[in-house]
Amino acid sequence: MSDEATSVFARALPLIETTLRRDFRLPREHARAVEEDIGLWFSRFVLRPGSGKAEALRMQLFCAMCEAGRRYWQWRLGGAPVVDYQVRRALAREPEEMARELEAKLRQRQKRKKRPKPEEESDS
């Protein structure tokens, strides 16, 4: 993966992990395998013509994660209906909508990280 793509993926990974575990309720081991798949896909996706900057493609990365969650449950249940309410709710959402929400969350986190701490302000 290019340095830029690696860094985009690494910054998004904690959110991907949380969403796969909490919203899609994947067991830890399966979540890890799905994360690896998403990482591999993204490493090739950023090489496609017209992909632009990796940073701008984070939305696509989150969409891919939602798609992966959806496909995981199709595989796991062989097409049978999902019983778990939490999973059903996650699967019922539009991937684009969920991706937008995750993107906003990530931006907020990054903003919070960049903001100087109050004690540093008083020190100076």
Binding site for other proteins (CB under 8 A): 30, 33-34, 37, 40-41, 43-45, 47-53, 56-57, 60, 63-64, 67-68, 71-72, 74-76, 95
Q: How far apart are the first and last CA of the chain?
A: 41
- 14 vs 52, which CB is nearer to other proteins? 52
- 24 vs 122, which CB is nearer to other proteins? 24
What is the smallest separation between the CB atom of 16 and other proteins, expressed in angstroms?
A: 14
DSSP string, 63-99: HHHHHHHHHHHHHHHTTPPP--HHHHHHHHS-HHHHH
- 80 vs 112, which CB is nearer to other proteins? 80
State the Cα–Cα distance between residues 2 and 21, nearest whole angstrom: 27
State the Cα–Cα distance between residues 115 and 124, nearest whole angstrom: 15
What are 67's two structure tokens? 């798609």
What is the smallest separation between the CB atom of 120 and other proteins, expressed in angstroms?
A: 36
What is the smallest separation between the CB atom of 118 and other proteins, expressed in angstroms?
A: 37
